[in-house]
Amino acid sequence: MKIVMLGAPGAGKGTQAKMIADKYSIPHVSTGDIFRANIKEGTALGLEAKSYMDQGKLVPDELTVRILLDRVAKDDCKNGYVLDGFPRTIPQAEVLKDALAKQNDKIDFAIDVDVPDENIVKRMSGRRACVTCGATYHIEHVPPKKEGICDKCGSELILRDDDKPETVLNRLKVYHEQTQPLIDFYNKEGILKTVDGTIDVKDVFANIVAILN
126: left (phi over 0), alpha (psi -120 to 50) or beta: alpha
Q: Any catalytic annotation for residue 66?
A: no
Q: Which one from 50, 88, 122, 193 is the annotated catalytic residue?
A: 88
Q: Which one from 2, 123, 127, 128 is the annotated catalytic residue?
A: 127
Q: Which one from 2, 13, 71, 97 is the annotated catalytic residue?
A: 13
Q: Which one from 74, 146, 152, 160 is the annotated catalytic residue?
A: 160
90-102 helix and 61-72 helix, angle to the nearest 10 degrees: 40
Phi, psi of 131 (to 5 degrees): -70, -25
Instruction: Please give the Cα distance from 9 to 139 (Å, whole number).
Output: 19
44-54 helix and 31-41 helix, angle to the nearest 10 degrees: 110
Q: Where are the alpha helices (DSSP H) in the chain?
A: 13-24, 31-41, 44-54, 61-72, 90-102, 117-125, 165-178, 181-189, 201-212
Q: Tally DSSP H helices, then E strands, for the chain.
A: 9, 8
156 Cα distance to chain centroid:
29
Cβ atoms within 10 A of the Cβ of 108, count? 12
Q: Any catalytic annotation for residue 13?
A: yes
Cβ atoms within 10 A of the Cβ of 120, count? 23
Q: Which one from 122, 164, 171, 193 is the annotated catalytic residue?
A: 171
Residues with a catalytic annotation lie at 13, 88, 127, 160, 171
